[in-house]
């Protein structure tokens, strides 16, 4: 039990004293970058999916 309490104390000290937390403005900026990158990635994947779908439908249409 003593080891667990020591672990909690050291964890609290590290989180409160050693961790550098981002500012709210920095957090907003980074979240915006991640959101935009995710949307771009989703659009690219959707485009590739539509291209493959059209290509395969054209290919399979040859055998009807």
| Predicted local distance difference test score (pLDDT) of residue 35 | 98
pLDDT attached to residue 64:
78
50 located within any domain: yes
Does residue 8 belong to any structural domain of this protein? no
Residue 49: what pLDDT?
98
Classify residue 11: in a domain, yes or no: no
Domain count, the chain: 1
Residue 56's domain comprises 22-64
**10, part of any domain:** no
For residues 26 and 57, give the distance between their C-alpha atoms in angstroms, rounded to a whole number. Answer: 46
Q: Is the pTM of this model over 0.75?
A: no
Tally of CB atoms within 10 A around 14: 10
Domain assignment present for residue 16? The answer is: no
pLDDT in tens, the chain (64 residues): 889 999 999 999 999 999 999 999 999 999 999 999 999 999 999 999 999 999 999 999 998 7
């Amino acid at each position: 039990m003593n080891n667990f309490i020591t672990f909690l104390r050291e964890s609290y000290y590290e989180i409160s004293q050693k961790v550098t937390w981002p500012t709210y403005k920095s957090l907003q900026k980074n979240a915006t970058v991640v959101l935009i990158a995710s949307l771009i990635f989703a659009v690219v994947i959707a485009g590739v999916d539509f291209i493959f779908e059209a290509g395969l439908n054209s290919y399979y249409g040859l055998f009807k």
